[in-house]
Every structure is written in C-alpha cells, then in structure tokens.
Amino acid sequence: MSSSLVVDIPTSTSNWCVNYFNCHLRRSRFLPSTTLSHRSTLLTLRTTSTSTSTSLSSKIFSASLAMEDSKAVPIKEMPLGLDTTTEEEYASQSKLLQEFTSIPSIDKAWTFKSDDGIGSQAMFSISQPNLLANKRRNSILSTHIFKDNNSSVNFRWSPFPVEMTGVSTIVPSPSGSKLFVVRNPESESPSQFEIWGSSQLEKEFHIPQSVHGSVYTDGWFEGISWNSDETLIAYVAEEPSPSKPTFNDLGYKKGGSTDKDCSSWKGQGDWEEEWGETYAGKRQPALFVININSGEVQAVKGIKKSLSIGQVVWAPSTKDMHQYLVFVGWSSDTRKLGIKYCYNRPCALYAVKAPIYKSEANELELKDSSTEDVPVFNLTQQISSAFFPRFSPDGKCLVFLSARSSVDSGAHSATDSLHRIDWSTDVTLWPSAKIVDVIPVVMSAEDGHLPGLYCSSFLSNPWLSDGCTMIISSFWRSSQVILSVNVLSMEVLRISPAESNFSWNVLTLDGDNIVAVSSSPVNVPQIKYGCIVEKKTIAAAWSWLDVSSSIFKCSEKVRSLLSSLQFSIMEIPVKDVSDSLSKGASKPFEAIFVSSNSKKSDACDPLIVILHGGPHSVSLTSFSKSSAFLSSIGFSLLIVNYRGSLGFGEEALQSLPGKVGQQDVNDVLTAIDHVIDKGLASSSKITVLGGSHGGFLTTHLIGQAPDKFVAAVARNPVCNLALMVGTTDIPDWCYVEACGSKGKDIFSEAPSADYLTLFHNKSPISHLSKVKTPTLFLLGAQDLRVPVSNGLQYARALREKGGEVKVIVFPNDAHEIGRPQSDFESFLNIGVWFRKYCK
C-alpha cells in the first residue's frame, strides 16, 4: 500500500515545493511519469502561516526519504472528477457509444443518366465522425441503378467508398459530365477549384484572397450554380479582406505593405458586424462568377454592400439575350443579428445581370463592363421573406419558400409558405410580377390534413418530368414526410406511407422516381426507392421499395440492442384548456416514447425526458445515434414536442411566445404524468435532458418541480434571460419569447430596468433556491447564441447553495457542441451521470 504524507509548509512556498516533489518523483523508480498537483492524493501539502518555526527543508527531505523507503506500488492516476466506479462506467459505455457514433450518415445524393443508356448512376456523399482527428470524414460511394418494374429495383454498389480529403463541397454540372470541387483554405491561402471530367482532372484554379475568401458551404448562404451550357459557375464566397492600417517602428506607414513585410505589422482596422453563431470570423458573403475555360473570376457588379448574398441560381434566357442571376439578399443596414436557425431575418429575391462574355477565337473572354450601369431587381417586394429559389424546367415559373410568418411575428422559426412567380422574358416586368400562393400558412389543420409546410431545404432539382410537380420533405407533426406539390394546380399530396410513423427524407430524384431515406428512433436509416404506380390518377399512388446497402452498416451488438426497443407517438391532451386559447393551441401535442419491447418485471426502466431547443423546433421520429445509445443502456425516452414546436400549425406555435417558462413547462409535466399514469414510468426514476431552450426548460423544471427529477443535464442552457439579452447574437429572441410578438417592436439593445426584471422573472434562475436535483452542465466556450456565462452563472450559484453540480466546458465548441470529440464526451457523460443516479 502507498503511504499518505502530510507536510506543513508556508503558503508562500507551496508552489516551488510541489515543483520540487514533481522533479524528484519523476526520477524515482516507482512513479516514472507521474506529476503531483496541489490536489494529489499521494502527497498532501498542508499550508501554514509563514511564521512556522520548523525547518522546511528538513520536512521535505524527510518526506522524500520516507516515500523512497516505502514499498510503494505504482499509483494509478484517475482523470479529474472520476472515481473507480465512474471510470468503469466510462469504459463500458464508451465502447458502445463508439459503435453508435461510427454509423455513417448520407449528406447528399445525385443521379445521372448512364453512358450506356441502361439504368442510371447515383453518387452518395457520406460522412462519419473521425474521433482521433476531431473532424468529420467525408467520402463518395457510387452505384448503378437498374429498375425492372415498379416492384423491383437493383442498386449495384461500387466495392468501396472514396474518401474526399480536404474537400469542402462538390457540385455536379446539369448534364453530369463535369464535377466542380471546392477546397477551402484553412489559413490565408488561395481557394482551390477543380473541374473533373469522367476520368480525369480537367482544370485547376487557385483563387487568391485578394479576389475573395472561402466559398460558403454552410447550407444557408451557400449557393453554387452552373449555367445551362456549363461554361460559367456562379457561387457565393467571402468578400476580400478590407485594407487595414500598417505600422512600423516609425509609426503609421502610408501606402500599407505586403503581408510578408517583416518590418511592419497590420493593425486591426474597424470592427465589422458578423452574422453571429457559426459565422464568427466570416466576412460578408458576396457573389462571384468563374469562367471554367479561362479561370477568370469576376465579382458581380451592382449589388449594394449592405446586402449579404446567398442561394444563387441562373435565370432562364431573356429577350435582351443577357444572362441573369437570381439570388437571396439579406439586408444589414444596422446590426447583423444571428441568422443560424433564425428564419425571422427579412430577405428577398433579387435578379442581377451576370458578367458579360463574348466569343473570340473560340475562347470566352470577359467583356469589361465596369462602366455599365447594372440594375438589380427586387422580385419579391410584396412579401417580407423569400428564399430557396427554383426555376421550373421550362423556365416559365420561379418557385420559392417564404418564412413571412416568422418575420412578421418575430418567432425565430414558424410555419412556411410556398409561392410562385410566373416568369417573364421581359426584365422590365419582373419587379411588378404577381406572387401566387401555392401553399399558404396553415393556422390549424383538421386531423389527417397537411398541418403546414415546414422545410429545411429543397433539392437543387426537385421537379418531376411533368415540369410542374415538386418533391419536397416537410415536418408533419412529430414525423418528417415526403410531399408532391403541383405548383400550378396547388395540389399537395403526402406520398410517403401515411400509415408509417417513421420519418422520411428525399435525397434525390431519378427521373420520375425518388431516392429517399427512412428511419425511426429504433431503426437505422434505410434507403428507399419510390415509384409512381398509378400515374394518371388524381392522387397518384407510390410504391416504396427497399434498397440493399451497406452504408448504414452497424455492429451486431447495436442491431441486437435496437431490436429490443420499440417506439410510439403519444397524443397528450392539453391541461386546463381556456376560452382564451386558439383552436390550434387547444389540440393535443405529441411525445415520442421509446422503451424496451420486452418487460422483464413490473419495475419500469428509468426515464429520460428529452427536450428540444428553439423553442420553435421539433424532435422527429428519425434515427438519432445519441438517443439510441441512451435507450440502449437501459433508459426509456420521453421526447416531448410541447406546444410551440414546428409541425403542428401556426396557432399552436404562436401560443408559446410570451408564455415561456410556463406553458412549455406545464406541457412537459403533463407529458411526464401521462406516462406515469399509464404505468410506463416510475415517478422515482425520472431524469431530464435538454439543450439551448431545452436547457431553459430543464433548469426551469428542476426549479419548479424540485422533487420530480433524480438527475438533470443541460447543454448550453438559457438560464438567465436578463444576462443573455446583453451578450447573445439574438437579443430580439429574448424579447419575443418573454413578451410575445410585441417583443419584435419593443426590442432594444439597451433594455429598461422593467424589462430586465421581466426577463429575470421568466428565467430558470428565479427558481434556483428550490433546486435539489444533481445537474450536469455541458457548455461550449465559443457559443455566441447562449454565451457560456449563462450556464456558468447558474452552475456557480447552484453550487454556492450546496447543490450537486458537474460542469464540462468545451473550449473550442460553439452552441451545438458538435465537434466529434466533444459530442462523444458529452453523451458519454450524460449516460454515466444518469446511470449514477438511477441505480
């Protein structure tokens, strides 16, 4: 056994004493690589006042001799905060978590006509976390599709995927004959563009930072579009760095200097607004066009500097024979409020003339148009929001999505609407074009009917061969479904199986067939191939065929664990319905319940209540690796879509702003009581987990219902609105959620004392004195949405009053805590934390 030594030393000399023992013990035979700290269990340095009379050097010498003379065995160092039992849990759970984490995901897919005219070809972009590198590993897997009839399809996969190292994004040309590859630099190096043919690299271009910065590949500002003859590519990239003042040993240097001038340095220059969370350090998105024959890049002229550009597409030909670009523009004359997950930022569709090229000596050359007046047309002045523009194949209509209900109400996300503009070849008619409602905002739907449109993206080519039917994915209550939308007749059909509680997402179209993916909380994703069975009927029937694929291959252990689980969607009646509630807000909300399908005894498994953020988001019946892991280690899951969630109509959604911390909290408690009353959960083994607004609910619940939960986990939680409003990238969110839709108009960067009091009273921190629940906080230090100070303030205050608290801060993570290692460590700690208090 190792001995425990206590040495009394003066406080002023404790640091060098520890250093002495560290150096001494590194040389000792029994502890070759271990260092001591002030908290070491091997050596305790007990500080005393500097007036201690005993010889300090003799104490140190005696202690060191005693340690060397003792027959000490090697000491096993424990990670900070871990005891032996916890470490064993880490070891057992981490292996299983890794098996879940390694399951790949399909990010995108494309189909092409086969060279031999038989069948078609498809390409899938696949990603999975690379834990050691702390990045996502991206690869491409190809297949040949043979469809015999509506009851048989065969995918012949290539034997191995090809890893796409260093690739930011890829975009095939419309014909499928070329592939545009973007490699964004990690420093101030040039961006690298590659044009690939069917068998080789055809062109390579390096675009210096003086032209533009990194290409946007974020899924929002992102826009890369080939023109029809595949000679030009329009794209969105960071505008060039603004010039900054230069200084040297004599002071300010006129005329600046090159970056490599070692005798001077660059100043910071003026601070510039950014678009908040995930866009820190990103410059303004601007529009560029590259000629893939010459490699010449031109910034598109005529666009105001106050417009941030995104989602560019080429417009059909016009009478004046010029080529035009249509793009989304977000105005930022004042502050740029956070835009990630915030659809309430006004935006419009614009059209602008593309750079003009002329043909000379069989080469395309850029015609200098710097002196020409380039008009920019606002195509959607009649509506407050317009994005995801798509032209029909015949070029006769422009379809787009709108979040006008979000912009007009101030809610960060709400029910979408779909619109059409009949496209004219006469550019002078564009600004006055009529906007036609294809799918209006649904306020409250009858059972079985479309609850509203909730789209997070469109395919780049969403059209069937009739030229007027779009295929899109949308949230439908707690599931995602596939819809067909005829933009001329306005007919909307749910074409994924209506009897399925699984979630369905369209990946790409193969002619008039659909390549999709289907999954559930207990079923890994499965590729599906959709075929129209009765095309001529009014409501065409679709047949969905299973596609054999190894993309989502998982271990036998994971498959066995998942096969022992089941899920259902529960309807939860609203408690205390009053006349003041709208029809939509009075209807039942939903919760997804995941549990074991083989009950071994009368005892219920411990329950994790999972709460989504937003609050205007939704938890879907799709496969989640982290949730599947938690259900596989012995927990039932209650995943609550409280009123205010997406997918249930606009009235239910708009019932929450102004009532956060009350209505949403009561809905969660009602859902918990519902499963307890049904005998599906034990009231003595309930835990709660939530992030962002879900963390707001988590910390509210442990304060408002202090005896309800045995453990809690909050990821980047909103704990104090009064603190958040002055530090977040979305201060308007605090006003809207606390005050209702009027908060959009009263929002101020300098809130009054009355509003700060209101924010405090609406916050979880106002209930902190009642909290008894052991709570784990997972915080991202780079979070601009809910800055780390919010969670730390609450955790420190809870610890100050004697509460049991554990805090893990991820120094390089933002709001999502999505870096592979951080995500892994988060859910490993969640599993260990809940198991600790549910035994």
Query: What DSSP letter does each residue of 365-410 carry, written as one string?
Result: EEPP-TTS---EEES-TTSS--EEEEE-TTSSEEEEEE-HHHHHH-
The whole-angstrom separation of Cα 699 and Cα 679 is 26
Integer-rounded Cα Rg, in Å, for the chain is 30
Reply yes or no on whether 692 is catalytic.
Answer: yes
From the candidates 605, 667, 729, 783, give the one annotated as an active-site residue.
783
The whole-angstrom separation of Cα 195 and Cα 174 is 14
The whole-angstrom separation of Cα 763 and Cα 765 is 5
- 82 token code pair: 């871990």
DSSP 8-state assignment for residue 36: -
Backbone angles phi, psi at 611, to 5 degrees: -125, 125
Closest C-alpha among 762, 731, 761, 733 to residue 748: 731
The whole-angstrom separation of Cα 49 and Cα 539 is 87
The β-bridge partners of 110 are 123
User: 32 by DSSP, 3-state: which?
Assistant: coil
CA–chain centroid gap for 412, Å, is: 15
What is the H or E stretch that residue 571 is in?
strand 565-572
With beta carbons less than 8 A apart as the criterion, state whether 166 and 195 touch: no
The whole-angstrom separation of Cα 284 and Cα 601 is 60
Reply yes or no on whether 632 is catalytic.
Answer: no
The whole-angstrom separation of Cα 120 and Cα 554 is 28
The whole-angstrom separation of Cα 690 and Cα 675 is 19
Query: What DSSP letter does each residue of 133-172 carry, written as one string?
Result: TTEEEEEEEEEEEEEEETTEEEEEE-SS-EE-TT--EEEE
The whole-angstrom separation of Cα 411 and Cα 361 is 56
What is the H or E stretch that residue 225 is in?
strand 224-226
With beta carbons less than 8 A apart as the criterion, state whether 485 and 469 touch: yes
From the candidates 405, 636, 692, 766, give the one annotated as an active-site residue.
692
Give burial (CB, 10 Å; 0-12/13-18/19+) of 420: buried
User: 657 by DSSP, 3-state: which?
Assistant: coil
From the candidates 417, 815, 822, 826, give the one annotated as an active-site residue.
815
Closest C-alpha among 427, 238, 181, 470 to residue 326: 427
Residue type for position 717 = P
Question: How many angstroms separate the Cα of 149 from the Cα of each of 110, 531, 532, 533, 733?
Answer: 21, 9, 11, 10, 52
CA–chain centroid gap for 293, Å, is: 36
Place of tokens 């069937």: 464
Reply yes or no on whether 92 is catalytic.
Answer: no
The whole-angstrom separation of Cα 742 and Cα 654 is 12
Residues belonging to the active site: 692, 783, 815
